[in-house]
Structure 1
Amino acid sequence: MATIFPHGTVHDAPDDLQDAVRADPSVFARWKALTPLGRNEFICWIDDSKQPATRQRRIERTCDEVLEGKKRPCCWAGCIHRTDKAPGRWQQAVLIDQKNKRRR
């Protein structure tokens, strides 16, 4: 029987991330110890990847950073998909920039 995989508050962990986290029991233990919001930030950061190579690098980096004790990805504006709080200034800038890119 497989152990239940803990997801984020908004995002569910994709299979490739689950496989990578489960591959190392130490990483999995630390992943389970993260808050749902912390897990959500890592998942959103990975899902935001546009290229498969970037996605793979982010999955590997997530495993490394979780093992180091980091609680959230560095240099990430944060999940813009959460509805329980208004976006911060940095998130608003990202959203405005994405909207402007779509108009071009």
Structure 2
Amino acid sequence: MGGQWVIGGWAPGTGIRAEIIRTASQELVDAFGRLLPQLSSTAGPLDHEALDRMVTCDANTVLVARTPDSVVGTLTPVLLPLPSGLRARVTHRRTRSA
């Protein structure tokens, strides 16, 4: 089911809040550890250092969707400055399976 990301606020009727991540934390390492296997069967788990590189990279905007209890999804748009203008590409997105 698709939906609209409401950054910094609760998506109406969902109980889910979207946040921009600027620093790595153990909570996020654990969340990516749960979510990444749903996206790729070959990608290894991210450690704190790898997650920190990802969230501090100027080209990335790492978003997470969270309920009051846990992180339930991620979205990572990558901004690309091209001769034709600034473009974005969504490289990874994943939500927790129901």
Provide the TM-score with structure 2 as the length reference. 0.27
Could you state the TM-score of these two structures normalised by the residue count of structure 1? 0.26
Greater share of residues in strand: 2
Structure ranking higher on relative contact order (CA contacts 8 Å, 6+ apart): 1
